[in-house]
Structure 1
Amino acid sequence: MSFTELGLNDALTDKLKAAGIAEPSEVQRQALPALLGGKDGIIVSPTGTGKTLAYLLPLLQRIDGSRKEVQALVLAPTQELAMQIMREAEAYGQPLGVKATALIGGASLARQLERMKSKPALIVGTPGRVREVANTRKLSLHAVSFAVVDETDRIFSLGGKNDVEHLLKMCGRERQTVFVSATRSQAMKEAERKWQNDPWVSDVTGKENENGLSSTLRHWYFQGDRRDKIDLILKLVRHMKPTAALLFVNDTEKIGELQAKLRYEGLSVDALYGDTRGQERGEAMQRFRNGRTKLLIATDVAARGLDLPGLPLVVQMEPALDADHYVHRSGRTARMGREGTSITLIAPEERFIVDKLEKQLGVTFEPKMLYEGRVVSLEEGLARKGASGKGRSKPGEEGRPAWKSKAEYMASLEKRKASTEGQGREPKPAAAEAKQGAERRDTGKLPGARTEPGAGIRAAKVHAAAGKRDEATGGKPAAKPVAKPAKIKSDRARDQKNKGAPKWLKAKREAAAEDKPAE
């Protein structure tokens, strides 16, 4: 079925052909007739399936470009996603005479207010900035008849709920409301019941998985020590040679250190933070899209809605927090029917997270390892190592990750040993342990026991004195020491008792002791 048969006008179909889009995607085939008919809609479809055009084309066709007032509003959770929607709106709205303006947080407010003077028919923006402009009375939403909330699940579950609801209340009562997302969370379902009237729901399960993941996406995981993850990332990028890769981390505070280490190793790396300013974010994305940056580090919040056509690889340095986060991370690749790979790096204690994601998403994670510069299955790699004798355990190799060579592992052990020596915790090899055991049997002294300064000299003197006593007594046991006089004992007891007492009490006790008759 063509776009014309779905109800689009000639201006839009010609623009689509010029952009190289000849046939609609599955989600577009289902959404266009319903949305052109004016029904509220819910579009739940995997990332990269054409959701943006599925709601944007009907919106642009229904807008009257000759009216000098805002008639449509599109809200997105991030600056990047809002700018992507804005670029599409400008491209497809131009032949229809529809003006669009972006109101995006992090950009110059004064400049955006200046653009509002052109009386745009479509506003695309982030909820916080749109509400800020609306509160200044520079933006009127009473004539809005078409409202779209993209990435609805994230907006309603991660802090943008109040702003969105405030803006929806300001729009016209007879508006058409469309919610769009890759996953349908409980928060999104609650918003549907509150803000939509008998909505139409998209269904693309015939082409894609119900979990929101593309069927052309491969799921791999590598298991190793936490401290070796950066080393593994370097190996993956160098051996797989992807045209570009997106690297996810859970903790924003780790991005700076990770970026510095990867750059030190010679990789071209940029990073996106959740609070990255609009200009810096745009420059970083431009370098990444142009191929000047090989690797882009991002958090879940910073990467929301990134549209990276042809991205072949997503690497998750730390496992996703839950199934929804995994879907949105992995959805950056394998878009529009292309193949892609999502790699998760886990420590042994994180293995249960992979098992949990497999059950929740209904996918299979393949265990992989690096062997002689190639990514192979774990079974194949271990079999080849065993056949070549490389897989047999040798002294000092216990605990070596399967993807790490012996030389690299031994080098990491040396570094670890050097760090522990610097902290006074030198690891003891087996030979040293055996020697210390012999010393314990011979001397009865614990190895590594601390001694005071001069203790060795005193011990030598005691040993020499004992030798002289042995010569004097002919090897016979020395006589028992004579008991100390009672007076000395009483004096010591008095001194112990007087310790810490005031001077007047000490004088009184000493006087009483002098008056006491000798025993």
Structure 2
Amino acid sequence: MHSLSAMRVLICGDSLSLGKLTGFSRVTPLYSSVRFICRVGNGNEPLTLDTLGLSDKVETTRGNEKNKLNLGISTIEVPKRRDKKVSHSAVQMKKKADIEALAPFAAKSFLELGLPPLLIERLDKEGYKVPTDVQAAAIPAILNNHDAVIQSYTGSGKTLAYLLPILSKVGPLKMDDEDDEPKNKMNIEAVIVAPSRELGMQIVREVEKLLGPADKRLVQQLVGGANKSRQEEALKKNKPFIVVGTPGRIAEISAGGKLHTHFCRYLVLDEIDELLAFNFREDMHRILEHVGRRSSAGQHAVNGSEAKRVERQTIMVSATVPVSVIRAARSWGCDPLLVQAKSIVPLESSPSPASIELSGMPSDSSAGTNLQAQAPVQSLPPSLKHYYAVTRIQHKVDMLRRCIHALDAKCVIAFMNHTKQLKDAVFKLEARGMKAAELHGDLGKLTRSSILKRFRHGDVKVLLTNELSARGLDIPECDLVVNLDLPTDSIHYAHRAGRTGRLGRKGTVVTICEEREVFVVKKMQKQLGVTIQSCEFTEGKLVAEVENTVGVRRTIKKTEVETSGFV
């Protein structure tokens, strides 16, 4: 038996140079994560990568442990993470190409999107002829069973972007070739969650218009502030296939055993960034755990068919998509897509599962920075004009009145931050002969509905409200939004501004602030990527101040803004 002339054991850190280790019998480890590589052989053999059992590329050694030892190669396997990354990237590139082929971004009619004839007839009857950009992108993706995060500016048609594909698959307007899945006794096929009663009721109205008078009972609203017993009776009597509601009321009725959603096919989370708020956490947890989560018996009944989903299809919707929404989509969805106007891209798997709590809700540590993590450039209607005017706090309401007259606005929404200030502002406007009303969460459901009805019909010219109406308030006729108090950040500015300029209409946003608040307006201007011009109201006209930086200090050039046509 030949004796072994030499034994060398090398411990190599990831960044150590092998050329410097020749002739050493031991090297002190420099890193906590190391690879152990053993080689036993003749001492006359040169120390190379081949003699160490390594090569320039990571290779998988075949054979059992005994064969590896006979070859003198370590049985500790080299990690294959890099190989996985390469293959994953290739798959993602192919997947992205397939996804982008889904959407006919230049669709000129709803027929091109694959909607059923009955649904197209209803759309035509309601005056919907051409799909918006976000609808052309989202509808084919959802019809092809993809989970999605839909992002587009307020008033761009996001509600129909998810309602139309759902109505194509379930309900009386569905496609003829759509098979019926086993349903629970309540026949709930879709649950749509909204953060406010106003948005929930708006969604219900959209569904009812499409279903028509004969079938409008097939959608049921479950919103807070209404009689819970009557809502439970309506569920039992009407057997709706779509439920729309606020998190608290949906979770409450579900916990009481009156709402059965385990076989639900669709879960829509509208204004998802608001639903991630701490006060919704417990209710959202229950909804996520019960909607579309079938029992094991139900899963076996599917028999592995790819055409039928074992669990729900999750759709998230918002004008802004901060980091918290991305994390939620990765946690709650299955390979979700980010759908924007003329853009569909896959969201990669979450690199850090620890960043999401076991409940599926983002952790508090991340929630504080989410709202400022993304500039909502794509969240503003493109046809808006933005201005700000400086005055003292006690003159803000009078400045609002002058602004309305200067722009000859017919339908105005004015935002304030504190509910107690609304009544005083209404009193001041009505004292000067301007019809105004306040809208806030402390009012009852019937009172709020009555005020909104008067506002839509033109009986109220100025609606003074708080952040409650920054989302979900759909008044297409609104031509002016005024911030009497500054929004807390650029995202809230975007949602407020989105109350005007909806569906391609023109609109104006005026922020009335104090001198010390101008720097905040400038900061939001930078974050939003839009121009917010300084202005004043002189002789019944809006006069914009164009700032120039030429010269030692700035010079102001006043230009009269044309108010005809309402720019």
TM-score of the pair, normalised by structure 1: 0.70
Match of 1:327 among 476, 484, 494: 494
If each structure's helix is expressed as a fraction of its own residues, which one has the higher value?
A: 1
Match of 1:135 in 2: 255
Match of 2:504 in 1: 337
3-state secondary structure, aligned to 1:356 = helix
Q: Aligned partner of 2:254: which letter?
A: A
Do structure 1's residue 180 and structure 2's residue 317 form an aligned pair?
yes
Q: C-alpha separation between the residues in 2 aligned to 1:276 and 1:37?
A: 42
Match of 1:31 in 2: 138
Deviation at 1:334, TM superposition (A): 0.7
Would the alpha carbon gap of residues 276 and 78 (structure 1) be closer, same or farther in structure 2, given more than 3 Å must change?
Answer: same
Contact 1:220 1:367 in 2 (8 A): yes
Contact 1:246 1:314 in 2 (8 A): yes
Counterparts of 1:123-202 in structure 2, within 5 Å, are 123-157=243-277, 159-173=279-293, 174-202=311-339
Contact 2:149 2:316 in 1 (8 A): yes
Match of 1:226 in 2: 393
Match of 2:477 in 1: 310
Q: C-alpha separation between the residues in 1 aligned to 2:151 and 2:532?
A: 24
Counterparts of 1:374-453 in structure 2, within 5 Å, are 374-378=541-545
Q: C-alpha separation between the residues in 1 aligned to 2:227 and 2:214?
A: 28
Deviation at 1:110, TM superposition (A): 2.0
Which stretches in structure 2 are left out of the alignment for 5+ residues?
Answer: 1-106, 173-179, 294-310, 344-375, 548-555, 561-567
Q: C-alpha separation between the residues in 2 aligned to 1:141 and 1:324?
A: 33
Q: Aligned partner of 1:110: which letter?
A: S
Contact 2:137 2:342 in 1 (8 A): no
Deviation at 1:273, TM superposition (A): 1.0
Contact 1:69 1:119 in 2 (8 A): yes
Deviation at 1:308, TM superposition (A): 0.6
Do structure 1's residue 364 and structure 2's residue 531 form an aligned pair?
yes
Contact 1:50 1:336 in 2 (8 A): yes
Contact 1:152 1:188 in 2 (8 A): yes
Deviation at 1:130, TM superposition (A): 0.9
Match of 1:5 in 2: 112
Match of 1:69 in 2: 187
Do structure 1's residue 348 and structure 2's residue 467 form an aligned pair?
no
Q: C-alpha separation between the residues in 1 aligned to 2:329 and 2:442?
A: 29
Which stretches in structure 1 are left out of the alignment for 5+ residues?
Answer: 381-390, 392-402, 404-519
Do structure 1's residue 248 and structure 2's residue 415 form an aligned pair?
yes
Q: C-alpha separation between the residues in 1 aligned to 2:469 and 2:136?
A: 31
If each structure's strand is expressed as a fraction of its own residues, which one has the higher value?
A: 2
Matched positions, count: 380
Q: C-alpha separation between the residues in 1 aligned to 2:233 and 2:265?
A: 24
Q: Aligned partner of 1:138: which letter?
A: K
Deviation at 1:238, TM superposition (A): 2.6
Q: Aligned partner of 2:222: which letter?
A: L
Post-superposition CA distance 1:381-440 (Å, at most 9, x none): xxxxxxxxxx9xxxxxxxxxxx9xxxxxxxxxxxxxxxxxxxxxxxxxxxxxxxxxxxxx
Do structure 1's residue 45 and structure 2's residue 212 form an aligned pair?
no
Would the alpha carbon gap of residues 210 and 349 (structure 1) be closer, same or farther in structure 2, given more than 3 Å must change?
Answer: closer
3-state secondary structure, aligned to 2:502 = coil
Match of 1:483 in 2: none
TM-score of the pair, normalised by structure 2: 0.64
Do structure 1's residue 84 and structure 2's residue 202 form an aligned pair?
yes
Deviation at 1:186, TM superposition (A): 2.3
Q: C-alpha separation between the residues in 2 aligned to 1:199 and 1:71?
A: 20
Q: C-alpha separation between the residues in 1 aligned to 2:213 and 2:120?
A: 11
Do structure 1's residue 274 and structure 2's residue 411 form an aligned pair?
no
Would the alpha carbon gap of residues 89 and 211 (structure 1) be closer, same or farther in structure 2, given more than 3 Å must change?
Answer: same
Deviation at 1:77, TM superposition (A): 0.7
Q: C-alpha separation between the residues in 1 aligned to 2:284 and 2:292?
A: 14
Match of 1:113 in 2: 232
State which drifts further: 343-352 or 152-161. Answer: 152-161
Contact 1:11 1:95 in 2 (8 A): no
Would the alpha carbon gap of residues 97 and 371 (structure 1) be closer, same or farther in structure 2, given more than 3 Å must change?
Answer: closer
State which drifts further: 334-343 or 161-170. Answer: 161-170
Contact 1:211 1:362 in 2 (8 A): no
Deviation at 1:310, TM superposition (A): 2.5
Post-superposition CA distance 1:412-471 (Å, at most 9, x none): xxxxxxxxxxxxxxxxxxxxxxxxxxxxxxxxxxxxxxxxxxxxxxxxxxxxxxxxxxxx
Post-superposition CA distance 1:168-210 (Å, at most 9, x none): 210123100000000002221221121011111112278xx83
3-state secondary structure, aligned to 2:438 = strand
Q: C-alpha separation between the residues in 2 aligned to 1:96 and 1:57?
A: 18
Deviation at 1:95, TM superposition (A): 9.0
Q: Aligned partner of 2:312: which letter?
A: R
Match of 1:104 in 2: 223
Q: Aligned partner of 1:120: which letter?
A: P
3-state secondary structure, aligned to 1:367 = strand
Q: Aligned partner of 1:112: which letter?
A: Q
Q: Aligned partner of 2:339: which letter?
A: S
The alignment yields a C-alpha RMSD, in angstroms, of 2.1
Deviation at 1:320, TM superposition (A): 1.1
Deviation at 1:338, TM superposition (A): 0.7
Q: Aligned partner of 1:184: which letter?
A: V
Post-superposition CA distance 1:69-122 (Å, at most 9, x none): 111100111111111100111222349958111111111212212211121111
Post-superposition CA distance 1:327-375 (Å, at most 9, x none): 0000000111111000001111001111100111111111111121111
